[in-house]
Amino acid sequence: MASRDALLSVRSLNVSFAGAQARIDAVRDVSFDAHSGEVLAIIGESGSGKSTLARALIGMVQPTSGTIRLDGAAIAASARRRPRAVRRRIGMVFQDSGGAFDPRFSVRRILLEPLLLLGDAAPAEREASIERLLDDVGLSLSLADRLPHELSGGQRQRLGIARALASSPDLLICDEAVSALDVSVQAQILNLLDELQTRRRLTLIFITHDLGVVEYLADRIGVMHRGRLVEIGPAPQILNDPRHSYTRGMLTLAAPPAE
């Protein structure tokens, strides 16, 4: 049963795919709660199932079994079957800012799409909504007619965040949202997410393999290994006193060498 303040509750979630020789169990019996207003980081190495989990939560991947609840109410596994009122409450920021947009669409068109599909802004208010979204992520309205390839990597990721926020979601899922950026730009995007999460009172699920990012942002941490959530708890406990051997190994590999 979900805790009373859980915005998102996941129970016994499984995701399998047909492989060349056998089925691949990408997510295996995963259960957790994401509490209102918290930052929950999901960490694990490449292939651990964390990105598949993110896509199952947003409705892009069909779970084999299990339930996803939003504010205690079960929601459909597929985004297409979710009511508009549910879809607008969950936003997602993807890793590949270059491939996340239609290259033919301008910045204005990219932000207009979710406003038309999920937002409530009247036609006369849409330009003002676009300007507010750009301002929220530190972009100028002067970029509105540019195409994605005319933006820097950091600007494209800011645009991806703005698009995810267009429907004023309660839950924002970030799938390796800074891993493709250089270190200085990573810090800027992390600061932006931290500020937006506080100001908008977002529940943030942050998928990453970077323990430095986790230490900066997370209230709680879940650790995935071979499709399973092997450990979850408050960030200080996971980082300083992990219970699972896989978590201890990750921390050892990430630790700076002794001088």
Q: Which domains does the chain have, with CATH numbers?
A: 1-89+171-253 (3.40.50.300), 98-168 (no CATH)
pLDDT for res 1: 43
Mean pLDDT, residues 39-44: 96
The pTM of the whole model exceeds 0.85: yes
Instruction: Order the strands of the 23-35 sheet from edge to edge.
Output: 23-35, 6-18, 65-70, 73-74
184-217 pLDDT per residue, tens: 899 999 999 999 999 999 999 999 988 888 888 9
pLDDT for res 256: 61
Q: Using CA of residue 122, residue 162, residue 167, residue 148, what is the dihedral sign?
A: positive
CB 118 within 8 A of CB 111: no
Mean pLDDT, residues 175-189: 90
Measured in residues, the chain has a length of 259
pLDDT for res 96: 75
Top pLDDT among 98 and 46 is at 46
Confidence of residue 73 (pLDDT cuts 50, 70, 90): very high
Element housing 87 (H / E): helix 84-87
Q: What percent of the chain is predicted at pLDDT more than 70?
A: 95
pLDDT at 5 over 50: yes
Beta strands (DSSP E) in the chain are: 6-18, 23-35, 39-43, 65-70, 73-74, 90-93, 171-175, 203-208, 220-225, 228-234
Confidence of residue 4 (pLDDT cuts 50, 70, 90): low
Top pLDDT among 20 and 244 is at 244
Whose tokens are 């700076």? That residue is 256
For residue 188, the tally of other CB atoms under 10 A from its CB is 15
CA 259, CA 96: separation in Å to the nearest integer? Answer: 36
- 134 closest CA partner among 207, 180, 192: 192
